[in-house]
Amino acid sequence: MSLSKRDAKHLWHPLTQHKVAGEAFPIARANGVYLWDEQGNSYIDAISSWYISMYGHCNPMITSRVAEQMLRMDQIVFSGFTHETAVEMSEKLMELLPENQQKIFFSDNGSTSIEVAVKMALQYHFNRAEKRDLLIAFENGFHGDTFGAMSVSGLDVYNGPFSDFSLEVIRIPVPNGANNKQVLELLETQLATGRVAAFVFEPLVQGAAAMQLNDPAGLSALIEACHKAGALCIADEVMTGFGKTGTHFASQQLSHLPDIMCLSKALTAGLLPMGLTTCSQEIYDAFYSDQLADGFFHGHTYSANPLACAAAIAAMELLVSEEIQQNIQKVIASHTEFDQRIREHEAVSQTRQCGVIYALDLNKEIPRYGPERDAVLKYFMDRGIYLRPLGNTIYLVPPFVIKKEELDKIYAVIEEALVVFG
């Protein structure tokens, strides 16, 4: 029996309507920027497997560090215990984070890092005897699949059945440069109620919303208004973090900094799951008390898993290396050159770029999921490129280690696709 047939017997895949979806595609191995199927066919991973494997799959520096750690310590409780790998990871991360971030709370993934942030913000005000129970978020944002994360997300394709069970959230448009004043006024109206606990946002790029961009100046003004009104700001850097926008974190391109940041995905280079919620000293101090109940009683079994921490340390060392920083600039320059070539193509309605993130919209309507979108995905797979279109949006988030000839192959297949699907 084939692997796909065996898979279908028991496995339930994410984001899949199995009655209409085809069989899962078997991948036998992954290395560098390539995936291989059981027949030995190779595919360039042009989206870094959901933006995580930014240093290539099975990067030998990262795998060797984790193997060494595995022989020393695999897992210990992080409540009451600590270990060298967690402490070293925290020290390296602090060298990269915006200067106002001082404390780190561990969880397991991007969704849980948001869950922690939302709970942290609500309890911050509770501990200060402030009645703040309203959250602000962007329209079409996506922050994960746990209940708090769903509440602040705005894509009904994922969250529709659960909308009646959400926290109270007001959604505002994304500032795009032309509407900054109007968006700020909408936010200020809500802030004036005194109920707003926090504003949750994806800085610069909304990933699941098809890589839509927001204006840095407009977003900075929203953060400034929140701070003046005593509301906290939570930056979801799960997708944007660790070099993808051209800086270590997208928030570093803003004139006003968030109070809380959520990290995952490229944090461990895709090798092991881990989420982090970082915050300012002021937030931590609101929980630091003689009263036991003022503490943050949230915990995950695999908090500060030593293997994941070892992977994160190696990934951060790679990120700041001269080679990777040069590669990031090369990918950015290649995307810019490609964009100049195809932005006026009759099959393209819009293009956008932020760092190594590049997206183009086909000049036709394609549902986010379904046979039309699957046909586009298959077209690329048949030509050795793994892309995962979001409706009519084709986007790239390639590994930092990708070579020019591999990027050129991706670009060439995209140009062919514009003729076929345009």
Q: What does pTM read for this prediction? A: 0.96
Q: In the structure encoding, which two tokens stand for residue 148, read together?
A: 């708090």
pLDDT recorded at residue 105: 98
Determine the Cα–Cα distance for residues 31 and 37; give it in Å rounded to an integer: 12
Same-domain pairing of 246 and 310: yes
Q: Which residues of 186-198 are buried (b: 16+ CB within 10 A; e: fewer)?
A: bbeebbeeebbbb
One domain for residues 134 and 263: yes
Instruction: Identify the domain containing residue 342 by its residue range.
Output: 3-22+45-52+321-401
Residue 253 CB: number of other CB atoms within 10 A?
Answer: 17
Q: How many domains does the chain have?
A: 2
Task: Kindly report, residue by residue over 1-53, the tens digit of the pLDDT.
Answer: 899 999 999 999 998 889 988 899 999 999 999 999 999 999 999 999 999 99
Residue 166 pLDDT: 79
The gap from C-alpha 168 to its chain's centroid, in whole angstroms, comes to 23
Regions of the chain short of the pLDDT cut 70: 156-158
* Residues 104, 226 within the same domain: yes
Contact 221, 254 (CB under 8 A): no
What pLDDT score does 161 carry? 82
Angstrom distances, CA of residue 368 to CA of 159, 161, 353: 14, 18, 21
Q: How far is CA 358 from the centre of its chain?
A: 15
Q: Does residue 237 form part of some domain?
A: yes
Residues 67 and 10 in one domain: no
Q: What is the pLDDT of residue 157?
A: 66
Angle at 302 between CA 296 and CA 306, to 5 degrees: 115
> Same structural domain for residues 178 and 99?
yes
| 87 and 196 housed in the same domain | yes
Please check whether residue 103 is in contact with residue 279, taking contact to mean a CB–CB distance below 8 angstroms. yes
